[in-house]
Amino acid sequence: MNLTSPSQVKDWCIKNGFHPNRVMGQNFLVDKNVLCAIVDAGLGERESYDGVKALEIGPGLGVMTEEMLSRGCSVTAIEKDPVLAERLPAALGNSPSLNVIAADALDVVAKKSLDFSAYDCMISNLPYQAGTRILLDIASTRALETIVVMVQSEVADRLAASEGSKTRSLAGVWVQLDYDVKVIRKVSASCFWPRPEVGSAVVRLIRHDRNADLPEQTRVMYRRLVKKAFEHRRKQLGSIFKGVLDSTERAEELSCEEWISIASALCAEGISI
């Protein structure tokens, strides 16, 4: 089956009585150009992809999995849907380079049942419903050097937004603590079957080491501060953190460095939030 052919994908679903679940974000990518752009962004320029270990969350019918395998990568794919997880190995020729884990990615992270540092990159078309949480949980491990994912367009913009931007978000400030984030390209809804109601975008996260030595206590404080601030993003920080901060700025106006400075100062003073 040509996984980039909408008619063939739809025909397989009908013949097998499979109904894509919108709640689980089962919108299958059926555009070859977008597919190659995502994989290219994730694998980068290498003389050979042989032996590259890639992690994929939500492989679905396996269009991205198949592309990575064809380039010589070794792929570990985590699939929550038991029907798709069972189908995938045989559908892709029982490749010895493919390891399918039938599980919820959120559970895998929570239980620490997978060593993310064993992978060179993560390349995924994340499910809309849980995509942001999956990305945040995996990024928080700081184990992966490169993460390239497709998410809702507005989510991608929030992840990449810099300080002062109206699209600056909690997720973006959290992720940028350890990753440089860039939106690679926008993706039309017509590139999927079934067609989603919103547009998508490919976003790339490259791990940086600027905060590698940040104490865990400060990291915890950083997350608590940012979370509380964005829960009241229309208020000035001095109003949110009365008696702790004297500031007329709002959550989206601070850079990651400024949040780190505040978190470090509060930890040094033994102040909890």
Of residues 191, 201, 189, the one with CA closest to residue 135 = 201
Handedness of CA 194, 195, 196, 200 (dihedral sign): positive
Question: Total structural domains in the chain?
Answer: 2
**Single-letter amino acid, residue 261:** S
- pLDDT confidence of residue 124: 98
pTM for the full model? 0.95
Task: Evaluate whether residue 265 is within a structural domain.
Answer: yes
Cα distance between residue 237 and residue 220, in whole Å: 18
Q: Say yes or no: 146 and 240 in one domain.
A: no
- pLDDT confidence of residue 24: 79
Q: Say yes or no: 88 and 222 in one domain.
A: no
CA 209 from centroid of its chain's CA atoms: 19
- pLDDT confidence of residue 26: 86
Domain final residue pick, 154, 179, 207: 207
Task: Evaluate whether residue 1 is within a structural domain.
Answer: no
- pLDDT confidence of residue 47: 87
Of residues 99, 109, 121, the one with CA closest to residue 55 = 121
- pLDDT confidence of residue 86: 96
Give the chain's mean pLDDT.
95
CA Rg value for the chain:
20
- DSSP bridge partners of 147: 122, 205
List phi, psi (to 5°) of 14.
-65, -45
Q: Say yes or no: 115 and 72 in one domain.
A: yes
SS percent in the chain: helix, strand, coil, step 5: 40, 20, 40
* CB contact at 8 A, 204 and 41: yes
- By residue range, what is the domain housing residue 49? 6-207
CATH number for 265: 1.10.8
- pLDDT confidence of residue 22: 79
- pLDDT confidence of residue 46: 87
CATH number for 40: 3.40.50.150
Low-confidence stretches of the chain (pLDDT < 50) are none
